[in-house]
Structure 1
Amino acid sequence: MYNVWDLISRYIPLVDCLKLESRKGLMIAILGRFLLIPAFYFTAKYGDQGWMILLVSFLGLTNGYLTVCVMTVAPKGYKGPEQNALGNLLVLFLLGGIFSGVALDWLWIIGNGSF
């Protein structure tokens, strides 16, 4: 479900009226995602699978949408070479986050003993 909603939400910013271009709004939305941590905890402890599917879908939806919005809005405040450098940094940190997530996932699986 996560990957499906992530893919779908990457196309939402193509509609101009749905694209979030305010840096302040993007920061609030990104920091607001930290509220999902206790939501996942309490759902895992007390909830059922329906709520977990809803939370994972919402996480995928916000991930794809906010990734595209940040990648397109961040370089707009800069000129020529700075835009290119910032774009390269954004891609570098995005790939670094993906790599660290995959590496930590494998460490968790190996350490869990279910491998």
Structure 2
Amino acid sequence: MTRRAVSSTDVARLAGVSQSAVSRTFSAAGGVSAPTRRKVLDAAAALGYRPNRIPAIMQSGRSHMVGVVVGGLDNPFYAAVLDHFAVALRAMTAMPAGMTPCGGCCGPGGRRRGCCRRGCSAATT
């Protein structure tokens, strides 16, 4: 049995707000009150909701993502270069980087259970 992905409607139902309030909470333009934002973020965290960025990408025609192809992160040189690149990219933009040099197991708080032990400081989205 497969579980379906959590939707913004599920978050709205739990938070007691409209689906558009959930959408506005996760958009750059915002436009929600602080109490509503807190309710939505709490509900999203409880459900493990992650907004789908594809509709915004399709509408704007811009993804604001950078893709990098590397032969293998087991080579310390590539891992170090990619880590420096991620830091420089974050410094150039106001948006959090959507890439992690270690493949996604490390987050802003450092190592997580089952992490690659690299303990990188890259942000995940």
TM-score normalised by the chain length of structure 2: 0.28
More helix, by proportion: 1
TM-score normalised by the chain length of structure 1: 0.29
